[in-house]
Structure 1
Amino acid sequence: MARRSDVVLEEILEAITLIDQALANHTQASFATAIFVQRGTERALEIISEAVRHLPDTLLDVRPEISWVDVRALGNRIRHEYWRVDSQLIWAIAMDDLPPLRTAVTDLLARLRS
Structure 2
Amino acid sequence: MSKSPVEYLKHISDEIDYLAETTESLSEPDFAKNLTLQKAFVRSLEIIGEAVKNLPEDFKVKYSQVNWKSYAGLRDRLIHHYFGVDYGIVWDVVKNEAPALKEKISKIIEVLRK
Give TM-score, length-normalised by structure 1. Answer: 0.91
Aligned match of 1:70: 70
Unaligned runs of 5+ in 1: none
**Identity across matched positions, percent:** 25
Aligned match of 1:30: 30
Aligned match of 1:41: 41
Structure 2 Cα separation of the partners of residues 9 and 54 of structure 1: 10
Counterpart AA for 2:51: A
Give 1:8-19 correspondences, 5 Å limit: 8-19=8-19
| Backbone CA RMSD of aligned residues | 1.3
Structure 1 Cα separation of the partners of residues 63 and 103 of structure 2: 10
Structure 1 Cα separation of the partners of residues 110 and 60 of structure 2: 13
Unaligned runs of 5+ in 2: none
Partner SS for 2:104: helix
Structure 1 Cα separation of the partners of residues 103 and 61 of structure 2: 15
Q: CA deviation at 1:5?
A: 1.1
Aligned match of 1:79: 79
Aligned residues: 114
Aligned match of 1:106: 106
Partner SS for 1:61: helix
Partner SS for 1:51: helix
Deviations 1:36-66 (A, max 9, x none): 0111011011110000111123322344343
Structure 2 Cα separation of the partners of residues 68 and 79 of structure 1: 17
Runs ≥4 in structure 1, deviation > 4 angstroms? none
Deviates more, 1:63-72 or 1:21-30: 63-72
Give TM-score, length-normalised by structure 2. Answer: 0.91
Aligned match of 1:2: 2
